[in-house]
Amino acid sequence: MTDETPKPPDDRAPDEPAAEGADRPADGKPKPTDEEKAARIAAAKAKAAAKKAAAEAPAEPKPAWEEKPVPPERADAADDPDVVALADGVAGSVLGAERFAGDVTVTVPAGAIAEICRFLKVERGFSFLVDLTAVDWPDREGGRFDVVYWMHRFDDQRRLRLRAVVAEGDAVDSVSGIWKTANWMEREVYDLFGVTFAGHPGLERILTWEGFHGHPLRKDFPVEGIDTGAAIYPDVYPPGGGPVAESEGEGEDQE
Amino acid sequence: MNGPDSSLFDVEEMEVNFGPQHPATHGVLRVQVKLDGEKILDAKPIIGYLHRGTEKLFETMEFPQCIPHTDRMDYIAAATNNQGFCVTMEKLLGITIPPRAAYLRMILAELQRIASHLVWFGTHAIDIGAITPFFYNFRDRDEILDLFEAYCGARLTLNTMKIGGVPFELPEGWVDRCRALVDDFPRRIDEYETLLTDNRIWKQRTVGIGVVSPEDAVEWGLTGPPLRGSGIRWDIRRVFPYDRYDEVDFEVPIGANGDTYDRYLVRVEEMRQSLRIVRQCLDALPEGPIMARAPKVLRAKEGMVYGSVESPKGELGYFIVTTEKATTPYRCRVRPPSFVNLQALPEMVKGHLVADLVAVIGTLDIVLGEIDR
């Protein structure tokens, strides 16, 4: 790391402190000359560097990686051609559209998701479903989950993201009939969030095991996990309890 | 045994568990196979044995703390996992990384791609019955891992990228070592190819096995070599160039028939192209800083962002949702290429023999750490 920004000995330094050093000793305490000199040299160097940077700044803008990062802004994306086409093609399908960091996100009604996806695939050429996932907002009014779809079109390499707000307990229409790849993705969302997909050919848990209770990616699921007993027999064992937690008493059962 | 009237001598359909503890499944994958004799009627992959809740863990960690955990997903290609996360975070925070950092990242990522393809090559061949390539591949992969070790101290879980650049400057002599390896490597790839490419047994076991049509490949969401093997020239490095992939020259190889043999050829050619990229990066390696001027504590704006890189397995994407001024992701979804690619397995093996199942699992090049997360 140290050799990343080597400071070459600056040859302007020795003469600059002489000009500036005249007023410094007045407010500074008397110090050993060597130290003072070093401090003056450093100050002069910094000043010279700052001056140099200031002088150069207008002529030659600093490269982007030396500037303070500028986070992307959100912008309205209602004029995006795909959003316009979607609004025209499926009535009432666009509840909002925004552009952030180069991605267009369209908020769509969850009830019409299958129709919207079919329209986008058939009419707009979004033949590739990149991913499907969910986000949990437990305290939000109007629906706890965001089910997020994003798709890709090969013709002009464009991507579009859909966001459907789903309330807890509501089912969303499955899109696995539209893109086969949605099958496992929907299973994963069902497993980890508990969002059900109507019309899915085999909605089973996929990453946790059959018989597991709870949905690990919900915000109210503890990060440290739940005990196996509570996961399998929630009626018998309280959260955090179970046969594993009381393993000392296991011998009695076998007698 | 299935069906009420099946008896010992009248078995038509049999259900066999393949894995989860089976060396040919490349990890803890279990496939429930329905067999008629040797013929596969249906296969059902069962996953989740390696589920560690990485996505849940991400929600508790500050952005830079997430990076070591990405190593442990696709653990034989850690550098590209780091890269994916960093690229996405930079997109979210608006950071532009210095050119030297981008070039170092590309060198590491391409070396990692070769290392990952070497593991695939060796294990895929050993699954099918060719034991020799494995020794060649692992001998050479070790030299790449030595380079990683010299760079960052780790061989497998590298944790070698930071949001805003790379953490270390190259050690002395590293460029020469790397160049020597890259110059010698094409000869070694030729060596592997003499073992398999025109080998009659290899061809019998791979040509026409696990055919995926281009339409099906898109339908199944395949990415990476399985998609390109089916003849679709599509590579994230080309389509959405990240870091500085738009400044280097490379080909995107594709297959013609979408079978296991084509995917084999695609991956071998990808190794050569990766070497080409590394060589160009070494030649053009710019001087300058290796870290962008990023704040010490990274705070994101509210929003959702998706960034992806071409990992050796396919499109590796990160979907990060943040709240205003957050220092941790509110939600971080990983789009694991292996997970999506594995889904096509049942379609690919239907009608084939049990031995072909092993070939198809090998050709998909899955890593269970990434599938189960």
Any idea which of A190-194, A207-211, B134-138, B171-175 has the lowest mean pLDDT?
Answer: A207-211
Chain A CB within 8 Å of residue B332 CB:
no
Chain A: nearest CA to B53, how far in angstroms?
8
**Chain B interface mutation, best of A206, A207, A208, highest count of B Cβ atoms under 10 Å:** A207
In terms of residues, how long is chain A? 255
What DSSP element (H or E) covers A86? helix A81-89
Q: Which of B366, B355, B364, B365 is nearest to B128 (CA)?
A: B355
Partner-chain contact A157 B343, CB within 8 Å: no
Chain A CB within 8 Å of residue B340 CB:
yes
Bridging pattern class, strands B39-46 and B30-36: antiparallel
3-class secondary structure per residue, B163-217 = CCECCCCCCCCHHHHHHHHHHHHHHHHHHHHHHHCCCHHHHHHHCCCCCCCHHHH
pLDDT for B287-336, tens place per residue? 888 888 878 888 888 888 898 999 999 899 999 998 888 888 999 999 99
In this predicted structure, the answer to whether residue A2 has a pLDDT above a threshold of 80 is no
Chain B: nearest CA to A30, how far in angstroms?
37
Give the number of other Cβ atoms within 10 Å of residue B4's Cβ: 4
Q: Which residues of A touch B101 (CB under 8 A)?
A: 65
In this predicted structure, the answer to whether residue A198 has a pLDDT above a threshold of 70 is yes
Q: In whole angstroms, what is the distance from residue B237 CA to residue B347 CA?
A: 28
User: Scanning every residue of chain B, which has its alpha carbon at the shortest distance from the alpha carbon of A5?
Assistant: B289
In this predicted structure, the answer to whether residue A181 has a pLDDT above a threshold of 60 is yes
User: Scanning every residue of chain B, which has its alpha carbon at the shortest distance from the alpha carbon of A193?
Assistant: B56
Which residues 45-84 of A are in CB contact (within 8 Å) with B?
Answer: 63-72, 74
Any idea which of A54-63, A114-123, A223-232, B304-313 has the lowest mean pLDDT?
Answer: A54-63
In this predicted structure, the answer to whether residue A252 has a pLDDT above a threshold of 60 is no
Partner-chain contact B98 A3, CB within 8 Å: no
pLDDT of residue A32: 58
Rg (CA), chain B: 21
What mean pLDDT do residues A149-162 have?
89
Chain B: nearest CA to A191, how far in angstroms?
11
User: Scanning every residue of chain B, which has its alpha carbon at the shortest distance from the alpha carbon of A204?
Assistant: B46
pLDDT for A3-51, tens place per residue? 444 444 444 444 444 444 444 444 445 555 777 777 777 777 777 777 6
What ipTM was assigned to the predicted interfaces of this complex? 0.85
Q: In whole angstroms, what is the distance from residue B231 CA to residue B214 CA?
A: 6
User: Scanning every residue of chain A, which has its alpha carbon at the shortest distance from the alpha carbon of B369?
Assistant: A207
